[in-house]
Amino acid sequence: MTCDINALAAIDLGSNSFHLVVAREEQGEIRVVETLGEKVQLAAGIGPDKILDEEAIMRGLSCLERFSERLTNVPKDRIRIVGTNALRVARNRKEFIDRAEAVLGVPVEVIAGREEARLIYLGVSHTLSDDGDSRLIVDIGGGSTEFIIGQQFEPQEMESLHMGCVSYRSRFFASGKIKRKYFDRAVLLAQMELQSIRDQYLAQGWHEVVGSSGSIRNIERVLVARGWTESGITREALQRLKSLILSYDHVDELDIEGLKPERKSVFPSGVAILIAIFDSLGIEEMAYSDGALREGVLYDVLGRLSHEDVRERTVLALMERFHVPQEQAVVCEQTAMSLFDQLQQDWNLLPQDRELLNWAACLCEVGRCIAHSQFHKHGAYLIEQSDLAGFSTNEQRELAVLVRLHRRKIALQELENFAPGRTLQLKKLMFLLRLSVTLCAPRFMPAPPKVSVTYNEGLLQLRFADAWPDNYPLALEMLKEEVAMWPKVGFQGEILFD
């Protein structure tokens, strides 16, 4: 089947449900063509040992096989798949990811909690009026709940807390029995989780509150069906809903108009979390939006395709925050891009590899803000442990390892935790970054050195066409030392002069 070059798709691998949205780009806007959702309850398959069991894995893979049928006409580079809290928690997530990628033929990214919050805000804000007022967005998922304060399309506060309708069901309603003491404990624990953000969020303030996700949608649907609200959710209606839930003895008995049968088991825990949110943050009324994580992912993909990549802004902000010299970073980046472009075809490098090398060249000195000694290690730690908007956790790991390996000892053991094919690509990018840093060792050169690189049968030749070797003899000696280390890691290099 011929691909539709204007089609794009996003899949949200949530802790409770998996969601697919297929859309078309039309004049810079997104028109949704199809949406699918299945209750997979991935988080329910995670035991105390944090291992995702085979039954949950198979539920997820079966769902993705059905989703894959709807992706046949979407170009693979316009499909993005993100995993959230369940995959963040699962120790054996790589097993699931490898099998999911085999089904879909597209990489699966696990995103951090705050990145999930950013994408949720992006999805919700595109469904709301652009009136400039600040808003609080709340999204109750299966394993986590996200809170975002922002204006228009720009989030200002983002947080992800470890409380969700599936995890709280397992903790407080595992047997299915509904008892007041269990419900109240769920509310209390959620209030305790909210203490970490309560004061900061209240000080920031907001004009309106908007909820997203299946849990909040289902609660609103029940309230409207009972006539307790015309739309949205109110504090009073939530209390009436609590009393109604507590009138039942077991989740299987919940016979409430508007409540879908497949949502019964997680309904009490979702209501308990929402009551805690209303109480802790002093909320009286909440509207509902159909926008969610998957729509945010779509808009993020569209931004990348139109060269409005939030990751570029994140890198620039990191450079500014940790006082990376802009002039030096630019020369190093230009040198790295020149080397990459010359070797891209011979080394089978991908466009996303070019982006990764670009960012690594810009950030290789970020660790100097901590200490000059071992700054490559400090920089790797900062990159891997920071919340970097737009980056998946794996992208951060790759970026961190390149910064870690850009100087001193070539510690290839740092690449052992990546897949074999990816390890080879990262090794190539490491050599390009090390070369760029060495060539730019003279601080604040007016322009990158003019050097051509060729690769043939395992030998990388560097040929200089300008006076760089004569003008920077110390840097030349550093380059010779660098090339001399390569044979120890199965690589050969040669320096030539015109």
Look at residue 368 and tell me whether its pLDDT is greater than 70.
yes
∠ CA 439-442-443, nearest 5°, is 120
Identify the bridge partners of residue 452 per DSSP, sorted by sequence position. Answer: 463
Of 305, 162, 176, whose CA–CA distance to 252 is shortest? 176
Structure tokens at 383: 């990159």
Q: What is the mean pLDDT of residues 312-328?
A: 93
How far, CA to CA in Å, does 101 sit from each of 14, 113, 147, 208? 16, 22, 30, 40
Q: Lowest-confidence range among 80-84, 184-188, 212-216?
A: 212-216
Give me the chain's average pLDDT, please: 94
Look at residue 1 and tell me whether its pLDDT is greater than 80.
no
d(CA 242, CA 184): 10
Reduce the DSSP state of residue 31 to 3 states and report it: strand
Do the Cβ atoms of 9 and 20 come closer than 8 Å? yes
Residue 29 pLDDT: 80
Structure tokens at 417: 């935790």
d(CA 173, CA 187): 13
Q: Lowest-confidence range among 129-133, 303-307, 429-433?
A: 129-133
Look at residue 419 and tell me whether its pLDDT is greater than 90.
no
| Predicted confidence (pLDDT) per residue in 6-31, tens digit | 999 999 999 999 999 999 998 778 99
Q: What is the β-pairing status of strands 145-151 and 134-140?
A: antiparallel
Look at residue 281 and tell me whether its pLDDT is greater than 70.
yes
How far, CA to CA in Å, does 473 sit from each of 71, 117, 269, 333, 497? 56, 50, 68, 22, 13
Burial status of residue 496 (CB atoms within 10 A of its CB: 0-12, 13-18, 19 or more): exposed
Residue 132 pLDDT: 78
Do the Cβ atoms of 440 and 468 come closer than 8 Å? no
CA atoms within 13 A on the CB side of 1: 10
What domains can be seen in the chain, in order of their start residue? 7-111+296-302 (3.30.420.40), 128-289 (3.30.420.150), 309-448 (1.10.3210.10)
Residue 217 pLDDT: 95
| Predicted confidence (pLDDT) per residue in 118-144, tens digit | 999 999 998 887 777 899 999 999 999
pLDDT > 70 in the chain, percent = 100
Look at residue 110 and tell me whether its pLDDT is greater than 70.
yes
| Predicted confidence (pLDDT) per residue in 229-270, tens digit | 999 999 999 999 999 999 999 999 999 999 989 999 999 999
| Predicted confidence (pLDDT) per residue in 214-223, tens digit | 999 999 999 9
